[in-house]
């Protein structure tokens, strides 16, 4: 079998990013993924978290700010090619499905709410039969952020799926086939260029095509919110990456479970995958491990205080002692100990042991595999994912 320049294990944000960066550098890339990745569950926005006063073991210390900036630019270029424009900023407001504001650094243009403060009237529109989106509740909560604005709610019926309850994903797929009924309903609001219309994320699952079709017919700015998974914005981002990978000749193997590495001293020469008949070896000059943490089984733990990385049996950092594993309150103002579990690396993102010794010279660990920080608490998971993937692919 031909030896790839790079094998990426994992198909989430970090894995797709690493594969895309490597492919852009004219390397032959093979992606092995067992599941569908995390992007269908994600909002489509990417948070960086704080870059100030970080401890020495923080992943950003190993990655470097320059790689984070380069990764952000690379992602914006990839999404632009898929007609999925993103905007970059320090704190870009995004409206959530319940009417709060979250702030992110990389946001789809369709979700950028930074102009809301300058609007005269804000329309919040829900679809008949759409689950988990309630315009009156959203409007009431959003008024707390914009008390001087006039709000109006509306409910429209596009007769999707014969009247049964639908998800945002259902609506997005159906509306992408025919956006005109939605455009016709929104025209009845008589919204002006000084107004905004807030809708759930229902404008298709491929780029920004559906929203553009409707926006050209509506004077007011149309803004999408976040939603519960499956998330159309997250799927749009995933498909933008897939479009680039396919056009770049990346080999993609889905439903492929990597069970162990093929190791010669401090070099990984390949990985072994399960096969119906017999095991199969994929060989490469470099391996990027992007299998994620606990949530995607990139790190497992059958026995308490004994987490393990199942493919290469890498050492895993974790806070010892049950009292340090979690906070007394689930929702608190402190990081959760268990969330810091992960693999430590050197500055080249090679895995290291407790004494700082490099275990493999051509294995690079990226994304949620990296330990030492509660990425959810810090809101840095997306930033760490794209930045570590960018660096790992360029080493």
SS (H, E, C) 51-64: CCCCCCCCHHHHHC
Residue recorded with tokens 């000749």 = 249
Q: What pLDDT score was predicted for residue 162?
A: 76
Q: What pLDDT score was predicted for residue 36?
A: 84
Phi, then psi, of 191 in degrees rounded to 5: -75, 145
In terms of C-beta density within 10 A (0-12 exposed, 13-18 middle, 19 or more buried), how is residue 201 classed?
buried
Round the CA-based radius of gyration of the chain to a whole number and report it.
22
Tell me the average pLDDT of the chain: 95
Q: What pLDDT score was predicted for residue 278?
A: 84
DSSP assigned state of 133: -
In terms of C-beta density within 10 A (0-12 exposed, 13-18 middle, 19 or more buried), how is residue 98 classed?
middle
Low-confidence ranges of the chain (pLDDT < 50): none
Q: Quick one: the chain helix, strand, coil %, rounded to 5?
A: 30, 25, 45
CA-based torsion, 345, 351, 357, 362: positive or negative: negative
> Which of 237, 239, 168, 225 is CA-nearest to residue 382?
237
Q: Name 127's bridge partners.
A: 156
Q: What pLDDT score was predicted for residue 295?
A: 84
Token representation of residue 57: 């073991």
Q: What pLDDT score was predicted for residue 356?
A: 96
CA distance 14 to 388: 8
At 66, is the secondary structure helix, strand, or coil? helix
> Which of 109, 235, 222 is CA-nearest to residue 173?
235
Enter the pTM of the model. Answer: 0.96
Classify strands 150-156 and 195-199 as parallel, antiparallel or unpaired: unpaired
CA distance 101 to 250: 38
Backbone φ/ψ region at 37: left (φ over 0), alpha (ψ -120 to 50), beta? left
Q: What pLDDT score was predicted for residue 89?
A: 95
Contacts for 382 with CB less than 8 Å, ≥ 6 apart = 13, 42, 45, 46, 47, 48, 104, 106
Q: What pLDDT score was predicted for residue 275?
A: 79
Q: What pLDDT score was predicted for residue 1?
A: 65
Token representation of residue 284: 């490469």
Q: Which domains does the chain have, with CATH numbers?
A: 4-80+236-394 (3.50.50.60), 97-225 (3.40.50)
Phi, then psi, of 170 in degrees rounded to 5: -60, -50
């Amino acid at each position: 079998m031909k030896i790839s320049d790079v094998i990426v294990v994992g198909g989430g944000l970090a894995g797709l990013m690493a594969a895309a960066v490597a492919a852009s550098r004219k390397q032959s890339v093979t992606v092995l993924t067992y599941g569908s990745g995390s992007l269908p569950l994600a909002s489509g926005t990417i948070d960086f978290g704080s870059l100030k006063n970080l401890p020495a073991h923080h992943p950003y210390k190993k990655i470097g700010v320059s790689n984070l900036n380069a990764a952000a630019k690379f992602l914006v270029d990839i999404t632009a090619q898929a007609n999925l424009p993103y905007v970059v900023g320090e704190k870009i407001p995004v409206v959530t499905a319940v009417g709060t504001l979250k702030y992110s650094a990389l946001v789809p243009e369709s979700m950028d709410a930074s102009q809301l403060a300058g609007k005269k009237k804000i329309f919040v529109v829900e679809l008949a039969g759409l689950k988990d989106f309630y315009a009156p509740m959203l409007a009431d909560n959003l008024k707390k952020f914009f008390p001087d604005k006039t709000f109006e709610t509306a409910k429209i019926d596009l007769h999707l799926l014969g009247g049964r309850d639908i998800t945002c994903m259902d609506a997005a797929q159906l509306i992408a086939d025919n956006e005109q009924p939605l455009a016709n309903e929104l025209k009845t609001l008589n919204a002006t260029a000084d107004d905004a219309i807030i809708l759930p994320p229902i404008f298709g699952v491929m780029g920004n095509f559906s929203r553009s079709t409707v926006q050209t017919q509506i004077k007011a700015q149309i803004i999408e919110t976040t939603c519960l998974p499956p998330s159309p914005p997250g799927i749009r981002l995933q498909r933008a990456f897939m479009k680039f990978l396919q056009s770049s000749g990346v080999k993609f193997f889905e439903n492929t479970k990597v069970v162990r590495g093929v190791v010669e001293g401090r070099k990984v020469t390949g990985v072994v995958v399960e096969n119906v008949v017999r095991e199969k070896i994929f060989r490469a000059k470099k391996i990027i491990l992007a299998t994620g943490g606990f949530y995607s089984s990139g790190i497992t733990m059958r026995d308490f205080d004994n987490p393990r990385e199942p493919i290469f049996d890498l050492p895993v950092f974790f806070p010892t002692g049950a009292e340090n594993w979690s906070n007394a309150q689930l929702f608190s103002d402190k990081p959760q100990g268990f969330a810091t579990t992960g693999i430590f690396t050197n500055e080249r993102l090679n895995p290291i042991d407790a004494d700082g010794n490099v275990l493999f010279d051509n294995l690079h660990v990226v994304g949620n595999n990296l330990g030492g920080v509660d990425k959810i608490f810090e809101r840095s998971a997306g930033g760490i994912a794209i930045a570590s993937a960018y660096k790992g692919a360029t080493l």
